[in-house]
Amino acid sequence: MTSELLPVLNELHMRLTESRQTVSVAESCTGGLLGAALTECSGSSAYFLGGVQAYANSVKEELLGVSHETLLSFGAVSEEVASEMAIGIQRLTGSDWALSTTGIAGPDGGTDEKPIGTIWVSVADSDGVYSQKLALDGNRSEIRDRTVLEALSMLLERLSDDDEDL
């Protein structure tokens, strides 16, 4: 765990525990790192419901409900797929919040259109889905770690916006 991640995790732990809200994850490029980070704090079972590691498109479709047409039209690394993954895991678990990651961590798989480090992160809540495209540098491990930090920071930002609406 990076030193940058710990303050984000502690803040998420406090906010989710106090608000009694839950979160679930659908991960492709992070392969379980996001769920592992969310369970780093003791007591995380109060808010972390679970997740799906969906590397294969068939898992994205069959477990998360990602449309076959969406995958064909936009590719697995797209805003549309990230959004459908977040909605799918939220539906599957009944969580208040859902996070999804999909991307190309490398060292293979990049193209001119979608180079290594192209990542999509989505956060879903009752108001909708919010997505962000990342263009990350580094090796596979660095890209995956940075994706986790960015996804959790995005969730924390959405939680803070939610608090301001009260």
Residue 141: burial class (beta carbons within 10 Å; 0-12, 13-18, 19+): exposed
Average pLDDT score over residue span 161-165: 72
- Mean pLDDT in the chain? 96
Whether 58 has a pLDDT exceeding 60, the answer reads yes
pLDDT at 82: 98
pLDDT digits (tens, 9 = 90+) for 28-47: 999 999 999 999 999 999 99
Instruction: Give the pLDDT score at 3.
Output: 87
Residues paired with residue 97 on neighbouring β-strands, in sequence order: 23
Label residue 161 by pLDDT band (50, 70, 90): confident
Q: Which residues contact 14 (CB under 8 A, 6 or more apart)?
A: none
Identify which of 11, 39, 2 has the alpha carbon closest to the alpha carbon of residue 144.
Answer: 2
Say if residue 155's pLDDT is above 80.
Answer: yes
The contacts of residue 113 (CB under 8 Å, 6+ apart) are none
> What residue ranges do the domains of the chain occupy?
5-106+115-161
More confident residue, 123 or 165: 123
pLDDT value at residue 41: 95
Q: Band of the pLDDT at 165, cuts 50, 70, 90?
A: low
If 0-12 CB within 10 Å is exposed, 13-18 middle and 19+ buried, where does residue 158 land? middle
Cα–Cα distance, 1 to 75 (Å, whole number)? 30
The rounded distance, in Å, linking the Cα atoms of 9 and 5 is: 6
Q: pTM here?
A: 0.97
pLDDT-derived band of residue 26, with 50, 70 and 90 as boundaries? very high
Domain over 5-106+115-161 is classified CATH 3.90.950.20 = yes
Q: What are the tens digits of pLDDT across the range 77-125?
A: 999 999 999 999 999 999 999 999 999 999 999 999 999 999 999 999 9
